[in-house]
Amino acid sequence: MTTTTDLVSYEDALASYDPVMGLEVHVELGTKTKMFCGCSTVLGADPNTQTCPVCLGLPGALPVVNATGVESAIKIGLALNCEIAEWCRFARKNYFYPDMPKNFQTSQYDEPIAFNGYLDVQLEDGETFRVEIERAHMEEDTGKSTHVGGATGRIHGASHSLLDYNRAGIPLIEIVTKPIVGAGERAPEVAKAYVRELREVIRALGVSEARMEMGQMRCDVNLSLMPKGADKFGTRSETKNVNSLRSVERAVRFEIQRHAAVLSDGGTIVQETRHFHEDTGSTTSGRVKEEAEDYRYFPEPDLVPVAPSREWVEEIRAALPELPLVRRNRLREEWGISGTDMQAILNAGALDLIVATIDAGADAASARKWWMGELARQANESGKALDELAITPQQVARVTELVASGDLNDKLARQVIEGVLAGEGTPDEVVEGRGLKVVSDEGALTAAVEEAIAGNPAIADKVRGGKVAAAGALVGAVMKATRGQADAARVKELILQKLGVSEG
């Protein structure tokens, strides 16, 4: 069995092999009730308190399809440029596992609701890569197993397992790509960009929060390698339930290196599921799948087919929101920024915050400046995401307004932001409480300027002699005397006036 040490370098792997990926993403829909019953989907309830005979698979219980779940599936399909089936059915996927109370999963097999689509994704350098979509189908989630007593939290070595069926029956959409070829050395980046873009699409549609850290969206990474020049796919591995963007990227990279090590040593890739380990960025073997699973699919006899009318589909299409890629390109053009700048905003998680700040009255340049500058620094120092900071876009917009009006300069504005983050109140309350307003009284400024000139006669003489740059020291003296609350540009004007020197 290949271990974490049995790797070749990434460069050597790509010199000999071409990676082929397949990404299967499961998205939990944000419906109020489960896919086939009326049980609540609210997170955090006590174990096994959100169940009923239907989602527990008790004899005689009959399922009913969640209409909102079907509508959400159609929205996702349309957003992914898929064809929407005029008629499709649910099927029973039969397998035994303790967290499957019915011993089958209600899913879709050869008749998915959406198929044959694509999603364009932007890479770090602005290049667009098209990922072809095979299908998006409806199904239900399983329960949750908690394995107790082992060292890894997995079933191997555990003394016993606890089962919670609250999650069993929650609506899922599984989105399956066609084989992704041609990505080459950028395969890990393409995988990450695809899952990120898919998450943004899902959130824009409002059908799920798609929070990967909470299991609302998870990715299975299928990977194989082909020798350079070959036209037949290699044997694939399937890394299950990868739950962060960074982990998707790391899993692809690791499996490329692992596969290449096995193949270069004359070995054979085992078709299997694998587990990803966040701490090491490595994968380990899970369950061998030497041949395709026989799930004995057959049409679900207790559910009628789903046949969305073309009129309904077109109504849903017409109501779709502006999709993320289109929105980003529009904003980038409106703001006059580069693709690299937009990517930096996305990486910082600042896009929606900047838009909300602009909507609250700030100009685009100022909104970007404060979120990507001072606030990004504060977030980094505190180990928080930008949207976790204790400041709202409306408050940031107020800070920009105070700067634009001349009541604050940038130095004072940073202190105001610091005060808001510290819980001292609104920007206006912090200004009042800390006494941070810019000194605009001409008399007070003039007195401070005269004092600075009198206290620094040698520097004043240099300025009079034509060394205008030396005035910076006098400006600094005035700013110190006013605790940074003077307008530096106005202070310099007054100094030059007093010394009879022209700026030019």
Q: Judge contact between 371 and 353, C-beta under 8 A.
A: yes
415-444: pLDDT as tens digits: 999 999 999 999 999 998 887 766 555 666
Of the ranges 18-32, 150-164, 187-201, which one carries the lowest mean pLDDT score? 150-164
Structure-block tokens of residue 168: 């069993």
Q: Is 313 exposed, middle or buried (0-12, 13-18, 19+ CB in 10 A)?
A: middle
Q: Judge contact between 374 and 417, C-beta under 8 A.
A: yes
- The separation between CA 218 and the C-alpha centre of its own chain, rounded to angstroms, equals 12
What's the pLDDT score for residue 126? 80
Span(s) in the chain for CATH 1.10.10: 442-499
What's the pLDDT score for residue 363? 96
Query: Residue 3: which pLDDT band, with cuts at 50, 70 and 90?
Result: very low
Amino acid sitting at position 445: L
Three-class DSSP category at 472: helix
259-302: pLDDT as tens digits: 999 999 999 999 999 999 998 999 998 887 655 568 899 999 99
Mean pLDDT of 28-39: 97
Q: Judge contact between 239 and 24, C-beta under 8 A.
A: no
* pTM for this model (two decimals): 0.82
- The separation between CA 201 and the C-alpha centre of its own chain, rounded to angstroms, equals 10
Q: What share of the chain is helix, strand, coil (3-state, %, to 5)?
A: 40, 20, 40
Please count the CA atoms within 13 angstroms of the CA of 419 that sit on its side-chain side. 21
Confidence check: pLDDT of 46 > 60: yes
What's the pLDDT score for residue 290? 54
What's the pLDDT score for residue 504? 57
What's the pLDDT score for residue 189? 97
CA-nearest of 376, 197, 328 to 368 is 376
**Number of neighbours of residue 219 by Cβ within 10 angstroms:** 27
Q: Is 134 exposed, middle or buried (0-12, 13-18, 19+ CB in 10 A)?
A: middle
∠ Cα 249 251 252 (to 5°): 70
Angle between helices 393-404 and 364-372 (to 10 degrees): 120
What's the pLDDT score for residue 4? 47
Structure-block tokens of residue 156: 């191997």
Selected residue with higher pLDDT from 406 and 375: 375
Mean pLDDT of 248-257: 97
335-389: pLDDT as tens digits: 999 888 998 998 898 999 999 999 999 999 999 999 999 999 999 999 999 999 9
Confidence check: pLDDT of 409 > 90: no
Q: How many residues does the chain have?
A: 504
Confidence check: pLDDT of 252 > 90: yes
DSSP per position, 172-195: EEEEEEPPB-S-GGGHHHHHHHHH
Q: d(Cα 352, Cα 349) in Å, to the nearest integer?
A: 8
Of the ranges 135-139, 313-317, 323-327, which one carries the lowest mean pLDDT score? 323-327
Confidence check: pLDDT of 103 > 60: yes
Mean pLDDT of 9-34: 97
55-96: pLDDT as tens digits: 999 999 999 999 999 999 999 999 999 999 999 999 999 988
DSSP 207: S
195-233: pLDDT as tens digits: 999 999 999 999 999 999 888 999 999 999 999 989 899
Confidence check: pLDDT of 234 > 80: yes
Q: Which CATH architecture has domain 442-499?
A: Orthogonal Bundle (1.10)
Alpha helix stretches (DSSP H) within 174-266: 187-205, 245-264
Q: d(Cα 237, Cα 261) in Å, to the nearest integer?
A: 14
159-199: pLDDT as tens digits: 999 999 999 999 999 999 999 999 999 999 999 999 999 99
Confidence check: pLDDT of 1 > 60: no
Q: d(Cα 480, Cα 229) in Å, to the nearest integer?
A: 70
Q: d(Cα 298, Cα 291) in Å, to the nearest integer?
A: 20
| Residue carrying the six token digits 């054979």 | 268
